[in-house]
Structure 1
Amino acid sequence: MTNLIGHQSQISDFMAAFTGGRPHHAWLLAGQQGLGKAQFAHAAATWLLAGAPAGPNFTVPPDCEAARLMAAGSHLDFRRLERLPAKTGKLRAEIVISQIVRRDASDPQPLREFLSGTPMLGPRRVVIVDAADDMNRNTANALLKSLEEPSEDTVFLMVSHTPGRLLPTIRSRCRTLRFSRLPDADVARVLASANIDGEDPALLVHLAQGCPGRALGLAAAGITALERDLANLVGQPVERASPAALALARSVSLKGGEGRYTALLDRAPAVIAARAQQLAGHARADAITTWEQAARLAREAVPLQLDPGQVAYALGMHVASLAA
């Protein structure tokens, strides 16, 4: 059984292709980040490796060997191509060519070696590329060779948040499934099945904008407390705002504060914009100017590698400068 929520038309189209005729060997799962495309790919891969059993929504028997092996990450006919950790412990910026063709002894079995044999546990192999946008040009060209010479026993599931960035030759060899934002009710169902203790589900659904992955990321960042901190800053005099902004700066500078910092970069300009809509006259004009400054700072903070604490303090003071 799968826990996949929503995307019923995509599930139906995919299942119909494999149960009603000759299916395509490569699929491009395209749509905004956070919609659940990777979860769809994993559920589809499990269903395929289980022999594509009849039933709705990628349903497989609970005691299915393929499902157990996929849950354990040990299915011999499955491969996930994704960014790997570098020597520093952080993820590499890209999916590199050595993951397709062995050039680096530190990499696991390259994809071409995995594809060179025959499936070991069933009639089919499945490869998920998550995300295809992370491949550099050399990696994409190396993968293209496998897509151009498809094997009947291999299915590629290519997750892409920005398919326009992919090589046209890769897009042309894939059947595209487009994913849209989920209704709020489906986002709420995703949240209900997750551990979001201490967070406001209604706030998360509102901020998710149809992307359950966004809601879960905001929950992990402690968005409920952050929203409260930003709301309390609005209209505060400098002598009270400065200590509060310093506390905000410290919270994003601590170990594990990266998620809160990312959420702050998104939410501080949004809070200012929402406040500007409630104002009129000179107060509204001032708020719009403040929003422009905050939005520019939030947009440039990561590319320019600005100090998170200093950025957080400045954003906090921008919020505080709004009319009460």
Structure 2
Amino acid sequence: MQHQQRSGGRLSQNSDTEDTAHIVRLLAPRLAYFAGAARTEHVTRAAQELEVPQSTLSRALVRLERDLGVELFARHGRTVSLTPAGRTFLASAERALSEVGKAVESVRADADPTSGKVAFGFLHTMGSETVPGLIRAFRADHPRIRFSLVQNYGEAMLDRLRAGELDLCLTSPVPDAPGLVARRLDEQRLRLVVPDDHRLATRKRIRLAEAADEAFVTLEPGYGLRRITDDLCAEAGFRPRVAFEGEEAETLRGLVAAGLGVALLPPPAVARPGVVELTVTGQRAVREIGVAWLEGHPDTAPVAAFKKFLLGRRGRLLPE
């Protein structure tokens, strides 16, 4: 690949364009050779512009026509002109080359160490305070890094991680699954949330077994917090009687405030009226938060920097 000319430590726009065109020729040489010959209508000039031997260009054009089974050029010595079939093919070839060029520029921009992109997934409960705080702190040293943010429940995020749609995700429980790497970063203490006029609302602490006869509002099956709720209740000796299922923790708080049940939830970003939050004693009522990524998946420079940042905040991930 040709050396890139830099101006003031940055690639010039002209150099960027030339470099992209060079990569496009490497990725789709026969289309690039065809378009070059069609543009110049001269094999020698096209070879010079494309920086390839004339013999290489001529052979490539002959092979292209042979493979297509169609003559694209009428030849007049070293000059050429497009046949009707060649004009039809040129329009599509130029669109294809343009799309390849756009793809080259896009993936290189996303991988740029100073201004690239991180596709980052996280739980709904971390969207109002935790994630904005993390990104603000990270961008103090990396101000131009861009983020594509996805909020979802744990299993859905892991599916998107496996599909290559995410680079990293914050999830709970910390996954232990083939093909994934996960690291524990922090934990949140869960509380039993009850309506402020509930029989237990005057308490500050409670053993979960004391809520065995209550109606619970929970997240839907498949959510990490639902699994943790079921496991904690089983550890306390009962199976929760689920009255309502939802998809978002603050919606559950609203259902509790309306007197429709109780819930095990992490602390809210902002205190909500109408509910009382009780400390659960007698068992370790927490949810662990971890970061996960694909095993063996190469990181771009922006992803590597953000991963290092997250791992450096073990035990300090969540707001006090």
With normalisation by structure 1, the TM-score equals 0.20
Between Structure 1 and Structure 2, the one with more helix by share is 1
Larger Rg, first or second structure (1 or 2): 2
With normalisation by structure 2, the TM-score equals 0.20
